[in-house]
A and B are shown apart, each in its own frame.
Chain A
Amino acid sequence: MRRSSAASKKKSDSITSSTTDLFRSGPSKATSKEMDRIDHLFNQYANTSSNLIDPEGIEELCSNLQVPHTDIRILMLAWKMKAEKQGYFTQEEWRRGLKALRADTLSKLKKALPELEKEVRRQSNFADFYAYAFRYCLTEEKQKSIDIETICQLLDIVMGSTFRAQVDYFVEYLKIQNDYKVINMDQWMGFYRFCNEISFPEMTEYNPELAWPLVLDSFVEWISEKQA
């Protein structure tokens, strides 16, 4: 059904959610009916005693969404929700995320995922998402760094599709080097900048005298030696 531009400003429970809608419709605009449905969906996955969706619940959600458990889109969903603790969604976070996605049913949620991916991959958002991915993996209270193995997995998930070569090489390097057992946020963000600013595998712009994290200096050196 066609709509006039004036009419599209009103609330609609149309199944099609356009890009513009996602922008303009914020959390404040959900109706109470939507909220009920969102809460209802929450309760389907939440652990009744803790009132949180726990890892088990998330796994179930994933299977219902037909999205692998380790897929980046789940991480994106968590980002949209601004979820704080890895493996758990609180009701508030759930509401926040689904309201923003205008998804109050499972099928709507599923259909919202491609748009969500597009949104996240926008240059203006991706850096934020990338940083979020790191923080999300910090499980202990004063934890500042993440172990190499987890980092490798995370890199694969978050950057694998866009920077395949860099990720593969960097992961290989991280596994064979001995200097670092953990990676901190600064080094993590450094890799993102590296992928965006330095051509690969030529790496002609790379200058170790600048403030690149040392781990990247060593990484670049290692690659150069391999290529020689």
Chain B
Amino acid sequence: VQESFGNQSFRMERKTIDLEQGWDYMQTGITKLKRILEGLPEPQFDSEQYMMLYTTIYNMCTQKPPHDYSQQLYDKYREAFEEYINSTVLPALKEKHDEYMLRELVKRWSNHKVMVRWLSRFFYYLDRYFIARRSLPPLNEVGLTCFRDRVYNELHSKVKDAVIALVDKEREGEQIDRALLKNVLDIYVEIGMGQMERYEVDFESFMLLDSASYYSRKASSWIQEDSCPDYMLKSEECLKKERERVAHYLHSSSEPKLVEKVQHELLVVYANQLLEKEHSGCRALLRDDKVDDLSRMYRLYHKIAKGLEPVANIFKQHVTAEGNALVQQAEDTATNQAANTASVQEQVLIRKVIELHDKYMVYVVECFQNHTLFHKALKEAFEIFCNKTVAGSSSAELLATFCDNILKKGGSEKLSDEAIEDTLEKVVKLLAYISDKDLFAEFYRKKLARRLLFDRSANDDHERSILTKLKQQCGGQFTSKMEGMVTDLTLARENQTSFEEYLGNNPAANPGIDLTVTVLTTGFWPSYKSFDINLPSEMVKCVEVFKGFYETKTKHRKLTWIYSLGTCHLNGKFDHKPIELVVSTYQAAVLLLFNTTDKLSYNDILTQLNLSHEDLVRLLHSLSCARYKILVKEPSTKTVSQTDSFEFNAKFTDRMRRIKIPLPPVDERKKVVEDVDKDRRYAIDAAIVRIMKSRKVLGHQQLVSECVEQLSRMFKPDIKAIKKRMEDLITRDYLERDKENANMFRYLA
């Protein structure tokens, strides 16, 4: 009888345990364990029993041969499981089905694990030395492998079917036992013993197939019945539920795969039909400003590779259509109405385009989460319709006129400073979409000149502000001339002060008329026609005096007088009352002739002033056939002809004490376009030479495309124009065509 096991009894001679004998003893333990597992009334193992069992194994393994029974015990260990499985476990499982089977399986697996745990504790000694020595699988593994080979392999397919059936049931809205499924699927994972292969191959692959076909069926009927928003709602809901499913009982690694399948069936397969649905698809949603639905659309398609491309495309088409409609509207209104109201419509167009931009930018930022695809779509859409001509005016011109209207006096005085700043900001942003930026610059410059020279600028700060914005957007070169113009005006004011001082110090030089001169730096300002009109003597003196003053400041500059831009205040001594007339210098020159003579013929005036017919007719018309008839024309027809004669209209009067007699504006458009075309020719020449100088030899197509790219910041060069310039450069010996390859060009130093 052995009393204690804690103390070493090695000094004592151990009694050899016979295999059969020992195994019988072990069997009692195993049976006890089985009874516990079966739920039969059986007390738990106490530590004494446990130690006995453990020691029995220990002894049988450490006995001297031929009584070292390690191998046999190892085999019997496995056989214990096999026996139990075959006799009890498997039959219990096989007689059940569906959910019942699943429950049984979970129970049996749990039991099995307990059994493995306990038996491997009993047989632990084998794990310590025997298995390592023989490179055999450890006890734990042996135990699990038994279950795998005998139970799992038999049943996994049936189990999988049962699980999937429950999943589909849940999908149809029924409640299922999620915890049960989780436990079942854990078996697949655990049975893999470190690898996910069993789970993936025996369950997941089937589950994915089933899910795909489930959603394929659903999708095919939903796509027929549901509107796009409803379909998207359902899809979103489905995806949400599937994610929940994973969280609750599938393995987490299934999530991306399952989501991909669901997305594919619901959103990819039917993408086209969904987006293009007649009354509720993407186009309709944009049309009806369904922001929420579009946001959902973005969320859904964002995760799908290239999923957003068709959406962005429809967005682009929609915006383009809206923009084109605005342009067409303006065009139609312009052709139907008289000229002056048409220009108002054009200004309305710009406002509407700005609003359109604001509206859809909100979509890009909010619905479409600032995604680059949508920024690009918006940009491309605007580039399409922002470059259309309306009633003969290019968009560049319209935009410049729009700016002029904001910046000039009487233009937008009702708007707050903030609103003006905001509008200017938006206008500059629109400029980015216009390809003929150089054309805009030229129109802007012309109108700026007019505002500056005729004191029609409403607010200096706004003038500077827009120039800063333009500079930021288009670079310093774009605004350098304009900035020069603004500076000139500032300097001109200082200059005027000096001039007045000079006159004060030289009373003899005083011309007797208040004279203000603005000196413009050539190059900054647009070019103006200036030719020698025969000025009245009073004005001649003014010119001389100023020249004298100017020479005291610098001898290196030449002054060229631009009388066409001058303004004159005359006192008209009419019979009724004197009225101050604000006229152009030319008009003044005409009127002053009547100081010495009462009546003059057209030809008299022509000869005396030395003007062209075109100019003279315009002048005389403004003074005799327009609103204020300062001169009486004989005969009093509506237009001026070369046989007419003119007389001072002493009877003229008006309720105002000062009136402005405007000259009809000359159409500057033609000249601007000509000037810009000329500048473009130089720009193209320069670009070609620059490129060829650095590359030395280049193929035609490459040269053209590099040229286009270099110039794209200012305008989109016509391919024909580039070819023409190249031809010219060939004639001027800057380039030559390669002798062997007619498509290559060479730079000639």
Contacts and interface: CB of A to CB of B under 8 A. Distances in A.
Interface of A: 144-145, 184, 186-187, 189-190, 193, 209-211, 213-214, 217
A181 B134 CA distance: 103
A75 B723 CA distance: 32
A199 to B, nearest CB: 17
Contacts of A184: 727, 730-731
Given A193-B742, A217-B723, A211 B731 contact: no
Residue of A186, A187, A193, A211 with most partner-chain B CB within 10 A: A211
Interface string B716-749: 0001100110010011000001000011110000
B700 interface: yes
9 contacts: A184-B727, A184-B730, A186-B730, A190-B742, A209-B704, A214-B720, A214-B724, A217-B720, A217-B723
Contacts of B719: 209
A186 B720 contact: no
B701 interface: yes
Contacts of A145: 731
A145 B727 CA distance: 12
Contacts of B745: 211
Contacts of B720: 214, 217
A144 B742 contact: no
Contacts of A190: 742
A210 B737 contact: no
Contacts of B731: 144-145, 184, 186
A187 B730 CA distance: 10
Nearest to B737: A186
Given A193-B742, A211-B745, A214-B720, A186 B727 contact: yes
Nearest first, the 10 closest Cβ-Cβ pairs linking A and B are: A211-B700, A214-B723, A211-B743, A186-B730, A184-B731, A214-B724, A144-B731, A210-B743, A193-B742, A186-B737
Interface of B: 700-701, 704, 719-720, 723-724, 727, 730-731, 737, 742-745
A214 to B, nearest CB: 4
A211 B727 contact: no
B697 to A, nearest CB: 13
Contacts of A186: 727, 730-731, 737
A213 B724 CA distance: 8
B723 to A, nearest CB: 4
B725 to A, nearest CB: 10
A210 B724 CA distance: 13
A187 B742 CA distance: 12
Contacts of B723: 213-214, 217
Nearest to A187: B727
Contact of B737 (A144, A209, A211, A217): A211
Contact of A209 (B701, B727, B744): B701
Nearest to A197: B742
A187 B745 CA distance: 14
Nearest to B700: A211
Contacts of A210: 700-701, 743
A186 B743 CA distance: 12
Given A186-B730, A211-B737, 15 more contacts: A144-B731, A145-B731, A186-B727, A187-B727, A190-B742, A193-B742, A209-B704, A210-B700, A210-B743, A211-B700, A211-B744, A211-B745, A214-B723, A214-B724, A217-B723
A214 B723 CA distance: 6
A8 B436 CA distance: 75
Nearest to B738: A211
A189 B739 CA distance: 11
A217 B700 CA distance: 14
B501 to A, nearest CB: 56
B80 to A, nearest CB: 85
Nearest to B720: A214
A206 to B, nearest CB: 13
Contacts of B701: 209-210
Nearest to A145: B731
A193 B701 CA distance: 18
A184 B700 CA distance: 19
A101 to B, nearest CB: 28
Contact of A213 (B704, B727, B743, B744): B727
A24 to B, nearest CB: 28
Nearest to B721: A214
Contacts of A213: 723, 727
A211 B743 CA distance: 5
Contacts of A189: 737
A211 B699 CA distance: 8
B256 to A, nearest CB: 47
Contacts of A217: 720, 723
A15 to B, nearest CB: 40
Contacts of B742: 190, 193, 211
A108 to B, nearest CB: 36
A214 B727 CA distance: 8
A59 to B, nearest CB: 33
Nearest to B723: A214
A145 B728 CA distance: 11
A184 B731 CA distance: 7
Nearest to A184: B731
A81 to B, nearest CB: 24
B538 to A, nearest CB: 49
A69 to B, nearest CB: 31
Nearest to B728: A184
B702 to A, nearest CB: 11
A225 B744 CA distance: 29
Contacts of A193: 742
A115 B471 CA distance: 71
A210 B742 CA distance: 9
A213 B730 CA distance: 11
B733 to A, nearest CB: 9
Nearest to A189: B737
Contacts of B744: 211
A210 B701 CA distance: 7
Nearest to A190: B742
A193 B723 CA distance: 17
Nearest to A193: B742
Contacts of B724: 214
Nearest to B732: A144
A69 B743 CA distance: 37
Nearest to A209: B701
A209 B704 CA distance: 9
Contacts of A187: 727
A214 B722 CA distance: 9
A217 B722 CA distance: 13
